[in-house]
Structure 1
Amino acid sequence: MTIIRTLRTFMTTGMLAMLVIWPVAALAGKDVESVRIWPAPDHTRLVLDIAGKVEHNVFSLSGPSRLVIDMKDVTLKADFSALDLSGSPIQRIRSAPRNGNDLRVVLDLKSEIKPRSFQLEPNQQYGHRLVVDLIDEGGLKVQKPAKPTVTDNANGKRDVIVVIDAGHGGEDPGAIGPRGTREKDVVLSMAKTLQRIIDGKPGFTAKLTRTGDYYIDLRSRTLLARKHNADLFVSVHADAFRTPQPRGASVFALSKRGATSESARWLAQSENRSDLIGGAGGVSLNGRDEMLAGVLLDLSMTASINSSLGIGSSILGKLGNVTKLHKRGVEQAAFVVLKSPDIPSLLVEAGFISNPQEERNLASSSYQRKLANAVFDGIYDYFSDTPPPGTLLAAQKSSRQGGNSVSQYRIRRGDTLSDLARENQISVNELMRFNGLNNDRVMVGQTIRIPAS
């Protein structure tokens, strides 16, 4: 009986202790340990490092413009005054405790923005984070397409436009090597090197999706390619694996499965219907019925994938002279960044940053230059052989062929004008104008003239 009474006393005392301790633990707040800011052309990202997930609320106030961030059971340990606010819409950051255990942060703004907030799980570099994006809605909107760039001494012939995308950026470091080399830094440096090489070649112009250490969402990267009227989109990355052994460069194009899902997305979103498919002078989905729009879009995406595979194969051939190849053929995957229906798009994995030797190579500016030269050599070979119409390269190819700029073709059973246009790297509209056709119907035995592309 004595043992039982002692046990009951222990259990009662222990339970009372738990009842006393539990509310204290529940009320224990989380600290805002540090803060970062990432200004970008279309948004500014404010990142709060917090020791765990946090209940929060974000809302805007006007007259003057302010953004309020309320966090529950949070204490401020970071120093907002140490932040460099230049290049951002933030004029000043204020903070104060609220309701005893909560924290209110107020951003005094220079202009109106659209706020967006979300939380990120820990990664290789950071712990739990609360992210607040201040979005300039006009920053990446496509108004009118950019005018084609014209080479100074090219008799008005336009350049081939290559848009280079440095993966990751800002709060997203990408993969991190054993020595701490960050993918986002390596690929930005390589992208800038590739841009300089491309811009140094007559008949070519390069544009970057990002020029600094900030993040652009994946859809906006392809939007920028469309804004620049790109002939090619190249996204540069550095691969990683859970073990250090894998190494070598890879090139990816969009898979058919990814194209199918993207076609459905485009057809479902009304704002996409007014976008041109096939570049300037191509086919618009606007006003088309569902079946015809689906066929046109499928043709365009198939042509883009085929061109991507051709350019990718050319690039792989050159990369093989500089580094080991992880796979000898162009791989295909449903990467979001490749899902442009009318622009050939490639993702180049420059190597495995998780491999110690390749990490050292990728961090070297001379090695980056070798890789960039190989990528451009592959691009140059492809576009010299199949140049887009109206470009300096097309004029040069025609000159090499002795001015033979027109060929004739007799229509056979199963031929369509869209197939012939795709095979000869010109638009259907251009082929119709060249032959004086009022529509895209052709008959077996009919002879049409095809300009050299």
Structure 2
Amino acid sequence: MTINQSRRKLLVFGMGMTLVSPKIFAAQKIALLDLKSTSDSLHITLPANDPHARVFTLDNPDRVVIDVSMTAFSSSLMHSLVVVKQKFPWIVRAKIAHFNPQTARIVFELNQSAKISHQNVEGLKSISVTVAKGAMAAIPAVEKENAQPEPEAYKPEEKISNRPLLVMIDPGHGGKDPGAIGGGGTYEKHVVLDIARHLQQQLQRQYKIHAVLTRQDDVFIPLYHRVNLAHQHEADLFISIHADGFSNDQVSGASVFALSEHGAGSAMARYLSQSENSVDAIYDNDVQTNDAYLKQTLFDLDQTETINRSLEFGKHLATHIETVHHMHNRHIEQAGFVVLKSPRIPSVLVETSFITNHQEEKLLQQPGFQLKMAKALASGIHGYLNQERKENLIA
């Protein structure tokens, strides 16, 4: 969800509250608050010249509090909060408050006490937040009627060892962008979020692979923000989940796409990529589609190698998908999807079914099918990461 801070509201993640957004005054020269992370630390950068900027802890319950001037917020920060909360299992919830007319406050509630270290670097306050290693919080259940039985107990030998791995799961569309709509009125944005939540559970419970969603709710997030989130949080893989539509309602089956350097590989791939890539232009006038970060890195040597790894990743997924659903095309297709333009992060887009096909629209509504698809995707991800580990492509 893109937030024009002069006229939109802040979302309070995990609490469901809405608050008036701070205005950004161009005349004020205060740097923006920044949140970044490593595998075990949350890094906060505050402008040293901001009289309201501070970070401190509270107890009962344990919390980390960040105060900053209203002028120090950026739209990308709103999306970062969602991912930070998911990345660190010791963060129970995150919320934003309009603390007073001059100050915005971010509060991270933790499941244990945190250690804070401070450093001043070139006019900025750099703060690191860490907790004792091994801290885990309960994985939230998928809230769904007719809930499915819990997955089989996790087997220690299935865990991918060494450093923690992170998979960025991108439920397509959201908010004012409904995606494709089935003949029965089913919205793509809803069913893919359900599948994404199931996939997150499967990865974390069955394989102990940490998984993060680009969106947890029905909100709009621009395409290039989804790409930047994956890089900001050092994702090992990126998977975008869709259930797209086509002009012919007889078209059916699942497909897996990787990025193409030279345009779409088929008429269907061209149709779908053009449809997906138009989202930002249609739904958000504030989006800068000529993002400098993507321009700088697109199709360099890293990108070429990443495409090859993405194709291999896609093969693993397709092998498992075809055990639960028929494939529209068994070959991994390629097209210029914006959300796949992530240098150094193998990225794929999965069309789980065609929502414009009457039979598949019914399937997509069924929790049992959603769970089967999620399990297949999780198995493919696990298999691919094991292969990458064996080939020393990941630490």
Q: For 2:206, what is the secondary structure of its paired residue?
A: coil
In structure 2, the residue matched to 1:43 is: 3
In structure 2, the residue matched to 1:248 is: 253
- Mapped to 1, the partners of 2:204 and 2:75 lie a distance apart of 30
Aligned counterpart for 2:165 among listed residues 155, 160, 167: 160
1:88 aligned to 2:14? no
Shift of 1:151: 6.5
- Mapped to 1, the partners of 2:357 and 2:191 lie a distance apart of 14
In structure 2, the residue matched to 1:111 is: 22
Aligned counterpart for 1:385 among listed residues 380, 384, 387: 387
Q: For 1:257, what is the secondary structure of its paired residue?
A: coil
Query: Is the contact between residue 114 and residue 136 of structure 1 (CA under 8 Å) also seen in structure 2?
Result: no
Q: For 1:252, what is the secondary structure of its paired residue?
A: strand
Within 5 Å, give how 1:19-168 maps onto structure 2: 40=1, 43=3, 67=7, 87-90=17-20, 111-113=22-24, 136=75, 138-140=77-79, 157-168=162-173
- Mapped to 1, the partners of 2:88 and 2:303 lie a distance apart of 22
TM-score (norm 1): 0.49
- Mapped to 2, the partners of 1:358 and 1:272 lie a distance apart of 35
- The amino acid that maps onto 2:350 is V
- Mapped to 2, the partners of 1:186 and 1:218 lie a distance apart of 19
Superposed CA deviations along residues 384-434 of structure 1, whole A, max 9, x for unmatched, are: 1222xxxxxxxxx6xxxxxxxxxxxxxxxxxxxxxxxxx7426xxxxxxxx
Query: Is the contact between residue 207 and residue 382 of structure 2 (CA under 8 Å) also seen in structure 1?
Result: no
Q: For 1:165, what is the secondary structure of its paired residue?
A: strand
Aligned counterpart for 1:323 among listed residues 321, 325, 328: 325
Aligned counterpart for 1:230 among listed residues 224, 229, 235: 235
- Mapped to 2, the partners of 1:186 and 1:155 lie a distance apart of 29
Superposed CA deviations along residues 108-154 of structure 1, whole A, max 9, x for unmatched, are: xx522599xxxxxxxxxxxxxxxxxx973532469xx9989887799
- Mapped to 2, the partners of 1:311 and 1:380 lie a distance apart of 10
Q: Which runs of 5+ in 2 are unaligned?
A: 9-15, 27-72, 90-132, 136-155, 265-289
Within 5 Å, give how 1:190-201 maps onto structure 2: 190-201=195-206
Q: For 1:159, what is the secondary structure of its paired residue?
A: coil
| Structure number with larger C-alpha Rg | 1
Shift of 1:213: 0.3
Query: Is the contact between residue 166 and residue 191 of structure 1 (CA under 8 Å) also seen in structure 2?
Result: yes
Aligned counterpart for 2:194 among listed residues 176, 189, 195: 189
Shift of 1:308: 0.5
In structure 2, the residue matched to 1:418 is: none
1:175 aligned to 2:105? no
Query: Is the contact between residue 151 and residue 158 of structure 1 (CA under 8 Å) also seen in structure 2?
Result: no
TM-score (norm 2): 0.56
- Mapped to 1, the partners of 2:185 and 2:210 lie a distance apart of 33
- Mapped to 2, the partners of 1:163 and 1:223 lie a distance apart of 11
- Mapped to 2, the partners of 1:182 and 1:233 lie a distance apart of 23
Query: Is the contact between residue 89 and residue 111 of structure 1 (CA under 8 Å) also seen in structure 2?
Result: no
Query: Is the contact between residue 258 and residue 339 of structure 1 (CA under 8 Å) also seen in structure 2?
Result: no
- Mapped to 2, the partners of 1:234 and 1:180 lie a distance apart of 26
Q: Which runs of 5+ in 1 are unaligned?
A: 1-39, 46-59, 61-66, 69-85, 91-109, 116-133, 260-267, 274-284, 286-292, 388-396, 398-422, 427-452
- Mapped to 1, the partners of 2:386 and 2:308 lie a distance apart of 17
Shift of 1:159: 1.9
Shift of 1:88: 3.3
- Mapped to 2, the partners of 1:379 and 1:364 lie a distance apart of 23
Q: Cα–Cα, structure 1 residues 177 and 332, in superposed 2: closer, same or farther, change >3 Å?
A: same
Greater CA drift, 174-183 or 156-165: 156-165
Aligned residues: 250
Shift of 1:299: 2.0
Shift of 1:242: 1.3
- The amino acid that maps onto 2:198 is T
Shift of 1:163: 0.4
Shift of 1:239: 1.8
Query: Is the contact between residue 114 and residue 135 of structure 1 (CA under 8 Å) also seen in structure 2?
Result: no
- The amino acid that maps onto 1:365 is P
After TM superposition, the runs of 4+ consecutive aligned structure 1 residues lying more than 2 A away are 42-45, 86-90, 134-142, 145-157, 268-273
Q: For 1:181, what is the secondary structure of its paired residue?
A: coil
Superposed CA deviations along residues 263-296 of structure 1, whole A, max 9, x for unmatched, are: xxxxx976679xxxxxxxxxxx9xxxxxxx99xx
Superposed CA deviations along residues 343-382 of structure 1, whole A, max 9, x for unmatched, are: 1000000001011110000110110000111111111111
1:300 aligned to 2:302? yes
Shift of 1:198: 0.5
Query: Is the contact between residue 258 and residue 335 of structure 1 (CA under 8 Å) also seen in structure 2?
Result: no
Query: Is the contact between residue 44 and residue 88 of structure 1 (CA under 8 Å) also seen in structure 2?
Result: no
- Mapped to 2, the partners of 1:313 and 1:114 lie a distance apart of 49
Q: Cα–Cα, structure 1 residues 137 and 364, in superposed 2: closer, same or farther, change >3 Å?
A: closer
